[in-house]
Amino acid sequence: MKKPSVNGERLIESLETMARIGATEKGGVCRLAGTTEDGDARNLFVDWAKKANCDVAVDQVGNLFCQRRGRHPELSPVILGSHLDSQPTGGKYDGAFGVLAALEVIRALNDSNIETDRPIEAVSWTNEEGSRFPPAMMGSAVFTGALKLSDALSAKDLDGCTLQQSLDQIGYAGSMPCGNKPAHAYFEAHIEQGPILEAESKIIGVVEGIQGIRWFDCTLVGEEAHAGPTPMPARRDALSGAAHLVQQIEAIANDHEPNGRTTVGQFQVFPNSRNVIPGRVCFTVDMRHPDPNSLVSMKDSLQAQFKLTCEKTKLEGKLEEIWYSPPTHFEQTCIEDVEHAALLHQYSNMRIISGAGHDAKYMAEVCPTAMIFIPCKDGLSHNELEDAADDHLIAGAQVLLEVALTKAMETE
Ligand code: GLV
Ligand code: MN
Ligand code: MN
């Protein structure tokens, strides 16, 4: 048997070609879930997968599975993948690397004429980012039963368009029932999106788990009034109250150093007119920590600060937790498989916990799962300037190939 090896040039070229879809001026991509650009990226992936002799299937939430057949079709597949959607000012590797590394695994196995016992599937999950339709990791959540299909399909963007409508528009509202099949194992390759591997000069991050995430929607309501005649003490300015609360939210993360994180990333002011005192503001809170108890204490602090702000500023409002993703621990043998593969190729490596959420989080609930990280330049991601070295991308794909092959040869 010829030892399979990824074709580095082909992988990099595929990543560059994919990055032209939704390309932004500064070298990133904008491919929000369910947009034309998301549709075009999916079409390209399907085209490549069909040329690699894969069977393509789309489920009801739009998850896209490209299967390379195995010797035993009755055995559950080894699934590899990530996502093709992006943030509005996203990087070209966040998600796309994991999907195209999975495709490269299939292409490399084809080149070597290797027949695996189990099928291997490259998957692109729907709406991992959750930027247009909250919450994040939606496709994998529905696939694994963590989220109801109807809740996902009825999620709305800020203009009131539902995920269902957007999938219809791009032709990816599939017919296959969600989660209709067991998986033998799941592996996801991804850029780290943080500074650790680069700082430690390691090529491969052996990912042991993912930190916990809480998402909140917050609304503060005051009273619209004229910016000129209304005396300062008479005002109930929702934006001014929100500004105070945003500072308190940042302090919550600082009180939970070094691992606490809080972010207010989306903010709307009503009526958003320069000479009207804002009567209402809506904003989001993203809160993260690897320790579940710390996440409880951070949530308690947020609720207390919200109440205090409302009292002090004579505002009313609502603070609603819309999503909780507890910390995840990956499966030991999968973690070790990744570590062995890195050692086999003499790639420097270290164990790491993911700061970002990934579809692997939900897959870990239904099958043995682990992730492979590679460094990203200056630790920068969710930014158009996100970058990664070709050698690292190729190394990550090679590790993915090794672990996929190991698992796809297991008949039990
Ligand atoms: C996904 O990109 C996340 O928010 O971690
Ligand atoms: Mn991602
Ligand atoms: Mn992302």
* pLDDT, tens only, 280-333: 999 999 999 999 999 999 999 999 999 999 999 999 999 999 999 999 999 999
- Indicate if the pLDDT at residue 396 is higher than 70: yes
Whose CA is closest to 194, among 378, 391, 397, 348? 378
Task: Give the ligand whose atoms come closest to the C-alpha of residue 90.
Answer: 3
The predicted structure's pLDDT at residue 138? 98
- Measured distance CA(98)–CA(125) in Å, rounded: 11
The predicted structure's pLDDT at residue 141? 97
Q: List the residue whose alpha carbon is closest to atom 2 of ligand 1.
A: 129
Sign of CA dihedral 192, 194, 198, 201: negative
Q: Do 84 and 161 belong together in one domain? A: yes
Segments forming the whole domain that contains residue 190? 8-211+327-408
Q: How many domains does the chain have?
A: 2
Whose CA is closest to 60, among 161, 173, 146, 160? 173
Of the pLDDT bands very low, low, confident and very high (cuts 50, 70, 90), residue 3 is confident
Which phi and psi angles does 187 have, rounded to 5°?
A: -130, 140
Q: Give the DSSP letter string of 299-357.
A: HHHHHHHHHHHHHHHT-EEEEEEEEEE--EE--HHHHHHHHHHHHHTT--EEEEEESS-
How high is the mean pLDDT of the chain? 97
Q: Do 93 and 193 belong together in one domain? A: yes
Domain membership flag for residue 32: yes
Q: Do 28 and 115 belong together in one domain? A: yes
**CB of residue 356 inside a 6 A radius of ligand 1:** yes
- Indicate if the pLDDT at residue 366 is higher than 80: yes
Q: Which two tokens stand for residue 255?
A: 């009180």
Q: Do 83 and 229 belong together in one domain? A: no
**CB of residue 33 inside a 6 A radius of ligand 1:** no
- Indicate if the pLDDT at residue 263 is higher than 80: yes
Q: Give the mean model confidence (pLDDT) for residues 95-121.
A: 98
Q: Do 47 and 153 belong together in one domain? A: yes
Task: Give the ligand whose atoms come closest to the C-alpha of residue 32.
Answer: 3
What CATH number does residue 273 fall under?
Answer: 3.30.70.360
Tell me if 192 sits within 8 A of 375, measured CB to CB: yes
The predicted structure's pLDDT at residue 2? 66
Output the CA–CA distances (angstroms, integers) from residue 240 to 83, 268, 306, 366, 394, in the order listed. Answer: 38, 13, 13, 45, 49
Domain membership flag for residue 220: yes
Kindly report whether the peptide bond that precedes residue 271 is cis, defined as omega within 30 degrees of 0: yes
